[in-house]
Amino acid sequence: MADVFSKEKRSVIMRQVKGHGNKSTELRLKEIFRRYSIIGWRRNSNLFGRPDFTFPSLRIVVFVDGCFWHGHDCRNTSPADNKDYWTQKILRNQLRDKTVNKLLRSKGWKVIRIWECQLREKKKVSRKLLILKNSANFK
């Protein structure tokens, strides 16, 4: 279906759309934390890269990355419109993720990244969280 707005008008409209913190993915991970009695996490950290969850006492940060926005290969689709723009956008996100990982690790943080699609398979998430299991934050 063709867009009813011009490219310029659509661009103005889209710039006004602001994200609200990946709430659905964060809530699913929060549910997994509760299911496995993982405690000690905090949200809304001001650390570089704005991690979704922080375990301050363990110096661990957890990011839940959206598969489309961060270029995970589980999605074999790409937008037909503005393909060059979206390709560059995803590449910029991936580059930013690498920069965030590198900086946080250089400051002594352990970085865990979980894909949005993995939240459906709790075993995959629990494997990524094994690093936490060895800590005192598991009951």
- Residue 15 is predicted with a pLDDT of 75
Using one digit for the tens of pLDDT, what is the confidence trace for 54-105?
Answer: 999 989 999 999 888 888 888 667 777 888 888 899 999 999 999 999 999 9
105 found inside a domain: yes
89 located within any domain: yes
Is 32 a member of any domain? Answer: yes
Q: Is residue 10 part of a domain?
A: no
In this structure, is residue 122 part of a structural domain?
yes
The domain of 64 spans 20-133
For the cut 70, the answer to whether the pLDDT of residue 50 exceeds it is: yes
120 pLDDT band (50/70/90 cuts)?
confident
Instruction: Give me the number of domains the chain comprises.
Output: 1
Residue 2 within any structural domain of the chain: no
**CATH number where 25 lies:** 3.40.960.10
The dihedral through the CA atoms of 22, 47, 120, 94 has a sign that is positive
Residue 129 resides in a domain: yes
pTM, two decimal places: 0.77
